[in-house]
Amino acid sequence: MKILTVVGARPQFVKAAVVSRNMALQDGIQEFILHSGQHYDDNMSAIFFEEMRIPTPHFNLNINGGHHGEMTGKMMAGIEQKILEIKPDALLVYGDTNSTLAGALAAAKLHVPVIHVEAGLRSFNMRMPEEINRILTDRISQILFCPTTRAVENLQREGFDLLDNRVELVGDVMQDAALFYAADAASMAKVFHTLELETGSFLLVTCHRAENTNDPERFGQILQALNELAERQTIIFPVHPRTRQLFKTQSIHSNLKLIDPVGYFDMILLLKNCQLVITDSGGLQKEAYFFQKHCITMRDETEWVELVDGGYNVICGADARRILTAFEQFQTAQFKPGADLYGGGQAGERIVSFLMDWL
Task: Determine how β-strand 90-94 pairs with β-strand 59-60.
Answer: unpaired
Clarify whether residues 193 and 302 are in a common domain.
yes
Residue 42 lies in a domain: yes
Q: What is the CA radius of gyration of the chain?
A: 20
What is the pTM for the complete model shown? 0.90
Specify if 206 maps to a domain: yes
Amino acid in position 151: A
299 in helix, strand or coil? Answer: coil
Q: How many domains does the chain have?
A: 2
Are the C-beta atoms of 256 and 273 separated by less than 8 Å?
no
The rounded distance, in Å, linking the Cα atoms of 104 and 10 is: 19
* Domain-located, residue 253: yes
Return the pLDDT at 248.
Answer: 82
C-alpha distances out from residue 166 to 88, 114, 162, 163, Å: 19, 11, 10, 9
Same domain, residue pair 7 and 63:
yes
Structural domain contains residue 198: yes
Rounded CA separation 309/291 (Å) = 18
Asked whether residue 34 falls in the same domain as residue 84, the answer is yes
In a domain, 336, yes or no: no
Question: Cα 114 from chain centroid?
Answer: 20
Task: Say whether both 49 and 146 belong to one domain.
Answer: yes
Pairing of strands 202-206, 276-279: parallel
User: Is there a contact between 133 and 116 (Cβ–Cβ < 8 Å)?
Assistant: no
At residue 40, the pLDDT reads 58
**Domain membership flag for residue 273:** yes
Whether 192 is in a domain gets the answer yes
Q: How far apart are CA 214 and CA 347, in angstroms?
A: 35
Sign of the dihedral defined by the CA atoms of residues 323, 327, 333, 334, in that order: positive
Claim to verify: residue 221 and residue 350 sit in the same structural domain: no
Which pLDDT tens digit goes with each residue over 37-56? 886 555 555 666 777 777 78
- The alpha carbon of 47 is separated from its chain's Cα centroid by a whole number of angstroms, namely 16
In this predicted structure, what is the pLDDT of residue 245? 82
Q: Which of 6, 143, 144 is nearest to 72 (CA)?
A: 6
Same domain, 251 and 157: no
CATH number at residue 317: 3.40.50.2000
254 and 235 both lie in a single domain: yes
pLDDT of residue 320: 98
Same domain, 117 and 252: no
208 belongs to the catalytic site: yes
Is the same domain home to 31 and 160?
A: yes
What pLDDT sits at residue 240? 82
Measured CA to CA, the distance from residue 158 to residue 165 in angstroms comes to 13
Buried b (16+ CB within 10 A) or exposed e, 127-163: ebbbbbbbbbbbbbbbbbbbbbebbbebbeeeebeee
Asked whether residue 167 falls in the same domain as residue 208, the answer is no
Co-location of 118 and 98 in the same domain: yes
Cα 113 from chain centroid (whole Å): 23
Residue 337 domain-assigned (yes or no): no
10-residue block means of pLDDT along the chain (359 residues)? 94 91 94 87 63 84 90 97 98 97 98 98 94 98 97 98 96 95 90 95 94 92 96 94 82 88 92 97 94 97 95 97 98 86 95 93
> Which pLDDT value is given to residue 46?
67
Q: What share of the chain is helix, strand, coil (3-state, %, to 5)?
A: 50, 15, 35
208 CA to centre of own chain:
12
- What is the structure's pLDDT at 43? 53
Domain residue limits at 289: 180-331
Residue 30's Cα: distance from chain center in Å? 25
Choosing from 208, 240, 253, 294, which is the catalytic residue?
208
- Domain identity same for 114 and 153: yes
